[in-house]
Amino acid sequence: MTDIPNREWYANLSQERGVAFRCPFATVQSCPRYYQSLSLLGKAGSTKIPEAEDERLLKNWKSSDLWPRTDEQATSLFGTPDNPSIYCNFCPEVTFERFGYFASGLTKYGDEIDSDFAHQRLEKDGTPPGHPLWSWSSCTAQHFTACSIYSVLSHRSASPQAKAEPWWRKYLAEIVVAVVIAIVGIIAKVFFG
């Protein structure tokens, strides 16, 4: 990774792609990945979502078609409960707020020996001090537009009329024809028979 997935990197990508600077769905109510990322960080030493609210959100999202159906799709932590070493499928908005990098995945160095060796290599290569490899053995940079859930959410929000359209509108022509035929039938019966 040559780019540093920081605020400037994110802003440049947003401008190039013609989108908002930050993800418009980055709330626990709007995005299951954002919710799951924030909830899991509460188990990794960050401030927790209040228990009742977390349970309500979990129940809501688990019934959604956007909730991950496999472990590979889920936002996950690996390592010891009090000190996770791998953050997988995280919302880049959440990782930025917590760690300072817009990333979907972060992996800690295995131990101090690995970290020291990496730091020697980074120093030799002239890697800038703000680069994530000074703190993480890997960092999977991600802009929100590359998120699979963003794709679905943005498609759905682009056509709110289709979602909010009443059921009968799809069948309006058939309904009108049926009503006209019924009225003509009643009139014919009254006058002719």
Same domain, 105 and 174: no
Same domain, 170 and 108: no
pLDDT means per 10 residues, the chain with 193 residues, are 87 95 96 97 92 96 94 93 91 96 96 95 94 95 96 85 58 77 81 74
Domain that holds residue 175: 160-193
Does residue 2 sit within a domain?
no
Number of structural domains the chain divides into: 2
Distance, in Å, from the CA atom of 190 to the CA atom of 61, rounded to the nearest integer, reads 57
Same domain, 57 and 88: yes
Same domain, 188 and 95: no
Question: Crossing angle of helices 7-17/92-99, nearest 10°?
Answer: 150
| Predicted pLDDT at 179 | 80
Provide the whole-model pTM: 0.79
Distance, in Å, from the CA atom of 8 to the CA atom of 111, rounded to the nearest integer, reads 31
Same domain, 121 and 191: no
Distance, in Å, from the CA atom of 117 to the CA atom of 94, rounded to the nearest integer, reads 29
The C-alpha angle with vertex 144 and arms to 16 and 85, in degrees rounded to 5, equals: 130
Task: Give 50-101 as a DSSP string.
Answer: PHHHHHHHHHHHHTSTTS-SSTTTS-EEEEETTEEEEEES--HHHHHHHHSS
Does residue 61 sit within a domain?
yes
Does residue 22 sit within a domain?
yes
Same domain, 46 and 129: yes
Record the tokens describing residue 95, joined without a space: 């990782």
E-assigned strands of the chain?
76-80, 83-88, 103-107, 138-141
Distance, in Å, from the CA atom of 175 to the CA atom of 58, rounded to the nearest integer, reads 41
